[in-house]
Amino acid sequence: MADVTIEQKFWGIWVNTVADVKNWATILDNATRRQAEKLSRAPGIAGHVSLMPDAHLGRGATVGSVIPTELGTIIPAAVGVDIGCGMIAVRLNKTWDDFPEDMSYLVELFGQSIPAGVGRERLDLLGKELGGGVGKRVDEWFRSNPIPDPRGLDVPRSKRQLGTLGSGNHFVEVCVDEEHRVWVVLHSGSRGIGNNIATMFIKRAKDESTEKLEDNDLSGLRGRSFEQYIEMMEWAQSYAYINREFMMDAALADIMSSVDDLHEEQRINCHHNFAAREVHFNKEVWLTRKGAIKADVDDMGIVPGSMGTATFITKGLGNLDSYKSSAHGAGRQFSRGVAKRTFTVESLRKHMKGKAWNFRDAKALLDEHPGAYKPIAQIMEDQKDLTTVVHKLHQIVNYKGM
- Residues forming the active site: 328
Give residues with Cβ within 8 angstroms of 91, minimum separation 6: 177, 181, 182, 183, 264, 265, 266, 267
User: Beta-strand (E) ranges in 84-166?
Assistant: 86-95
Alpha-carbon distance of 402 to 360, in angstroms, equals 12
Give residues with Cβ within 8 angstroms of 238, minimum separation 6: 84, 145
Give residues with Cβ within 8 angstroms of 10, minimum separation 6: 23, 24, 26, 382
The three state secondary structure string of 308-330 is: CCCEEEEEECCCCCCCCEEECCC
Residue 36, SS3 per DSSP:
helix
Instruction: Measure CA of the first residue to CA of the last residue in the chain; give whole Å.
Output: 42
The helix (run of H) or strand (run of E) holding residue 270 is strand 264-271
List the alpha helices (DSSP H) in 218-305. Answer: 223-256
